[in-house]
Amino acid sequence: MGDDVTPERFRALAGRFATGVAVVTTAVDGTVHGITVNAFASLSLDPLLILVCIDREATTHALLPRAGAFAVTVLAAQQEELSVHFASSDRAEGHAQFEGISWRPAAVSGAPVLEGGMAWMDCRLSGVHDGGDHSIFVGEVVALGELQGTEPLVFYEGGYRRLAEAGR
Ligand SMILES: Cc1cc2nc3c(=O)[nH]c(=O)nc-3n(C[C@H](O)[C@H](O)[C@H](O)COP(=O)(O)O)c2cc1C
């Protein structure tokens, strides 16, 4: 019983776990950077911890330990374009990466919080753990707040989705 355990089957079946989409941002050495993630989860209530999993090959992987802090913006349904942008390999570097995007610096990290999202959290990096070809970055939440979004962006089976309110 069961399918062959291959990366392709793993990717397809893991993709049946519906997630939200977030942008993790850093501010380091006077510049800023963002990356689209769906490997984001709340981890602990006491202390308040979240985790994000970042590919070892990603630029962000080296930036997070240097910054020692980061912000997370949970994207709203209308922000699919931002998700695509912060995942694209040919986006600009530094402040130019945020041109035309409305943001403000988070209080502690100074990292961009994207206006129009669902919620933001500002985190101090509290640990980095091995996760195969990714690393698990644990952040202690030091500030947080709501944003203007009312419906979350959903990622499911490799595509962007909207929440359907079945039965209403
Ligand atoms: C919906 C979506 C979710 C993603 N989730 C992650 C993730 O959780 N972790 C990760 O390392 N990359 C993730 N990626 C890929 C990165 O966004 C992409 O590789 C990005 O260009 C890396 O940026 P960087 O190299 O500038 O840090 C995701 C991409 C998309 C479109």
Query: What one-character-per-residue DSSP string does the chain give?
Result: ------HHHHHHHHTTS-EE-EEEEEEETTEEEEEEES-EEEEETTTTEEEEEEETTSHHHHHHHHHSEEEEEEPBGGGHHHHHHTT-TTPPPGGGGGTT--EEE-TTT--EEETTSSEEEEEEEEEEEEETTEEEEEEEEEEEEE-S--SB-EEETTEEE----TT-
What's the pLDDT at 130?
Answer: 98
Q: How far, CA to CA in Å, does 23 sit from each of 2, 35, 49, 135, 167?
A: 35, 5, 17, 17, 31
What's the pLDDT at 167?
Answer: 57
With contact defined as beta carbons under 8 Å apart, do 72 and 52 qualify? yes
Q: From the CB of 80, is ligand 1 less than 6 Å away?
A: no
pLDDT tens-place string over residues 5-26: 999 999 999 999 999 999 999 9
**Low-confidence residues in the chain, pLDDT < 70:** 166-168
Q: From the CB of 87, is ligand 1 less than 6 Å away?
A: yes
What's the pLDDT at 166?
Answer: 61
CA 136 to chain centre: 12
Tell me how far apart the alpha carbons of residues 133 and 54 are, in angstroms, rounded to a whole number: 9
Q: From the CB of 136, is ligand 1 less than 6 Å away?
A: no
CA 131 to chain centre: 17
With contact defined as beta carbons under 8 Å apart, do 89 and 47 qualify? no
Q: What is the CA(166)–ligand 1 centre distance, in A?
A: 30
What's the pLDDT at 164?
Answer: 83
Q: What is the CA(36)–ligand 1 centre distance, in A?
A: 5
